[in-house]
Amino acid sequence: MKMNRSLKANTDENNKINEIRLSLNTPKGSKIIWILVEGEDDCKIYPKLFDPSKAKVEYVDGKTSLIEALEILTQKTKQVVGILDADFLHLNKLYPQVKNLFYTDYHDIEMTMLNFEEVRINLLTEYKMQDKQEAIWQNVLEEASYIGYIRWYNDINNREIKFKGLKYGDMIGLNNGKIYLIKSQLLEKLNERSKNKKEDLTEKLITEFIEERTTNDSLNLCNGHDTINLFSLLLEGKASANSFAKELRLSFTNEHFRRTKLYENLQKWQTQNKFQIFIF
């Protein structure tokens, strides 16, 4: 199965590379800048941030595939850039040296969007909870941080813990309007679903890792999908994780984007290369 998925990933990557190469050789395509992103959800946020007549956003599934595609394409053209979720790179202070590759300000684009207080207020106004915004935000961050430490441990030690598709509904408690993570159930679920794991996760193991790696940088520690999932659970059925994510994308505007380091870095890149990729 792994071999088949790898073959599919390689095929998709090669198809995308060939599509871009062919486009660049056409009169219209020769004027387009390609923005490569790593997932389908990214194609729901980034296109509105660029001028569609001058830049086209396409996703290449996964970080490795995107970096490989970018390295191949930049050998032939300047007209392609990649945008990746930073994940734990900002915490680890380790960045792949890849031409025309840019990272989100924080762990991922979702955490970058949630960084803006006015975005969070807009989101919670829909549920008449804007007055509790700060308390809700701190509660969600605190619980998402524990999951973030497990993800970080897995990232550093390559323990093959499977998070994809994980839901937290049966591992969350509610008390006086606050959520709390039932850690033992989370670890049990992760152990159960991670058939190829290299060791069992235990509370002792994660506690020791947290003591060793404690950080106050929640925006780089927490995963955006986890955070959104916890937000939706705190709303007690008023919004699914998918609908909350959609509302987050709608609340994040070009004005917010212009205040990010990602925008600043892309702006410098377009000036250096005499391109114009932004609407504004």
pLDDT digits (tens, 9 = 90+) for 174-198: 998 899 999 999 999 999 999 999 9
Question: Stretch 150-177: mean pLDDT, rounded?
Answer: 94
| pLDDT greater than 50 at residue 3 | no
| pLDDT greater than 80 at residue 9 | no
| pLDDT greater than 50 at residue 5 | no
Between CA 201 and CA 206, with CA 202 as vertex, the angle to 5 degrees is: 85
| 244 to 19, 86, 200, 238, 248: CA distances (angstroms) | 33, 22, 33, 9, 6
Helix, coil or strand: residue 83: strand
Cβ–Cβ under 8 Å, residues 235 and 127: yes
What distance in Å separates the CA atoms of residue 142 and residue 159, rounded to the nearest whole number? Answer: 24
Cβ–Cβ under 8 Å, residues 160 and 196: yes
Residue 11: pLDDT band (50, 70, 90) is: low
| pLDDT greater than 90 at residue 271 | yes
Non-local CB neighbours of 38 within 8 Å, separated by 6+ positions: 59, 60, 61, 62, 63, 66, 83, 84, 85
Per-residue pLDDT, 12: 76
What distance in Å separates the CA atoms of residue 55 and residue 251, rounded to the nearest whole number? Answer: 22
Residue 6: pLDDT band (50, 70, 90) is: low
| pLDDT greater than 80 at residue 69 | yes
| pLDDT greater than 60 at residue 162 | yes
Per-residue pLDDT, 71: 96
What distance in Å separates the CA atoms of residue 166 and residue 183, rounded to the nearest whole number? Answer: 14
Q: Which pairs with CB-CB distance under 8 Å and at least 24 residues apart come from 231-238?
A: 231/123, 231/136, 231/140, 233/168, 233/169, 233/172, 233/179, 234/136, 234/139, 234/140, 234/174, 234/178, 234/179, 235/127, 235/129, 236/174, 238/127
Non-local CB neighbours of 84 within 8 Å, separated by 6+ positions: 37, 38, 63, 66, 67, 101, 102, 103, 104
Percent of the chain with pLDDT over 90: 88
Q: Which residues pair with 102 in a beta bridge?
A: 83
The mean of the pLDDT values for the chain is: 93
What distance in Å separates the CA atoms of residue 61 and residue 57, rounded to the nearest whole number? Answer: 13
